[in-house]
Copies of this chain bind each other. A is one copy, B any other.
Amino acid sequence: MLNKKLGAGAAFVAGLCAVASAVSAQDAEETFITAKQEQTAKRLIDKGLHDDTAWTLLESLTTEIGPRMAGSDAEARARDWGVQKLKRLGFKNVRIETFELTHWSRISERAEIVSPFPQALVIATLGHSPSTPAGGVTGEVVRFETLAALETSDADLSGKIIFVDEPMTRTQDGSGYGAAVKKRSRATIIAAEKGAVVALIRSVGTDSHRNPHTGGAVRGGAALAPVPTAALSNPDADQLARALKLAKEPVRVLVDIQTEFNQSATSGNVIGEIPGKSDELIVVGGHLDSWDLGTGAIDDGAGIAITVAAAKLVGDLKGKPARTIRVIMWGAEETGLWGAKAYAKAHEEELSLHVLAAESDFGAARIWKFQTRFGDAMLAKAKPFQRLLHPLGVGAGNNQASGGPDVSPLRAAGVPVISLYQDGSDYFDLHHTPDDTLDKVDPSAVQQNVAAWAATIYLASEMQGGFRDGAD
């Protein structure tokens, strides 16, 4: 803030000085990219802001394939779709790298208050829930305000249906999710330990529609959850809580869940490349599978569409990029990071060639924060990214980027990652629900994403040296 006592003329001069000082700081800071590269990155941003490839891909994937559960026929059709699209867009070395997984699927689900206030409740079975006996199981509901209250309870829960009613907090960065999602895998375990027959949870989500949020009830995905487990939509959780408040007798609920679990099914990662001048790799992508209730527009069709369209813009530049840009449509993310683990294993020998990795898997809203996980000595290399992304409304974050779930095995193996965080304020209104559909996506926000990713991929490919300590 300028000193208010300065006149207008002095303020103007002070302003000029501030600009001059910023420019000289920039000169001192960066020798990582050339002025010409900077101009190219700006041109990519402009192209991204007018891109329609991402929208066309997203419309095609969500419409022509729709829901595509890990290990399902629909996911297989999505892989064929991915191969066809990558080839048509000019990517090279397009292939599917298959892997095996255990395949869980929903058959049917039904819940109702039996007494004293008979009425249906809307639930979604959680991934890897076992079935109830045919026709369902009826039990008295015991409500816990929080997961912690269930964990520490010494109530007798034999034969009961537990109901963990803990709500989720809405935040821009999605930080409410970490706390709220714990109940999704923990409730079923504690329910089993304490003799309960079914675990119900309030949806892990921030909306108030009768579309429950599904999601995995187990971490990993190779085994079934201990007891049948489902999420009530938020309004249904409200309703059950009110029924318990108003009832003068126990509230009894019927839950009938039927699921299927197959020890072996096939999934795969779809991979395409823009070959570079070197074998070094910049890995970007999203995950191709979705939960079964929606059409996976924000989770994660958008991630696929944005990164493919952005990589294509870089590929359309004259000449080869310095490094090879590898786009991955990971398979079977939702049910246990199967594709991520399979990729890291299959490419173990070339992990040292992975200069940078990043996934777009947090929806389709505008990117507002750029984060890195670079070697400490390489942090200055974040500056050109930050400066170029700033006009897109993207601020600089810390050096603790996650990179996205499907690059977590790479990150664990020492590969530097970046995150282009989208605004998550509304993400958990839709996440894992039937409402994850194309109409929720803003085409201009997708273009902002493509612009940011195109510039990022280009800089990552061209920048002198890598991002690990000792890389340069």
For the complex, what is the distance from the CA of A59 to the CA of B63, rounded to whole Å? 40
Whether B246 and A434, one on each chain, are in contact in the complex, defined by CB atoms closer than 8 angstroms, is no
Check A435 against B242 for contact (C-beta < 8 Å). no
A144 at the binding interface (Cβ < 8 Å):
no
How close is A8's CB to chain B, nearest CB, in angstroms? 32
Q: B66 near A238 (CB under 8 angstroms)? A: no
Q: Which one, A206-214, A273-281, A404-412, A448-456, is touching chain B?
A: A206-214
On chain A, the number of residues with a Cβ less than 8 Å from chain B's Cβ atoms is 36
Q: Are B295 and A239 in contact (CB under 8 A)?
A: yes
Query: Is the CB of A200 closer than 8 A to any CB of chain B?
Result: no
A438 near B238: Cβ-Cβ < 8 Å: yes
Is A238 a contact partner of B64 (Cβ separation < 8 A)? no
A439 at the interface (CB under 8 A from B): yes
Residues A246 and B60 in contact in the complex (CB < 8 Å), given A235-B435, A295-B119: yes
A463 at the interface (CB under 8 A from B): no
In the complex, are the beta carbons of A435 and B210 less than 8 A apart?
A: yes
Question: Which B residues are in CB contact (< 8 Å) with A120?
Answer: 66-67
Contact of A59 (CB < 8 Å), options: B74, B210, B211, B242 = B242
- Judging by beta carbons under 8 Å apart, are B246 and A210 in contact? no
Q: B211 contacts A211, CB within 8 Å? A: yes
**Which of A62, A118, A235, A246 is the most central at the interface, judged by chain B CB atoms within 10 Å of its CB?**
A235
A261 interface residue (CB < 8 Å to B): no
Complex partner residue of A210 from B65, B118, B235, B437, CB under 8 angstroms: B437
Asked whether, in the complex, the Cβ of A439 is within 8 Å of the Cβ of B234, the reply is: yes
Query: What residues of B have a CB within 8 angstroms of the CB of A113 in the complex?
Result: 66
Contact between B60 and A434, CB atoms less than 8 A apart: no
Complexed CA–CA distance, A234 and B74 (Å): 23
List 16 contacting pairs A-B, 8 Å CB cutoff, sorted by A: A59-B242, A63-B239, A63-B243, A64-B116, A64-B243, A65-B117, A65-B119, A66-B119, A208-B440, A210-B434, A210-B437, A235-B437, A235-B439, A238-B437, A238-B438, A238-B439
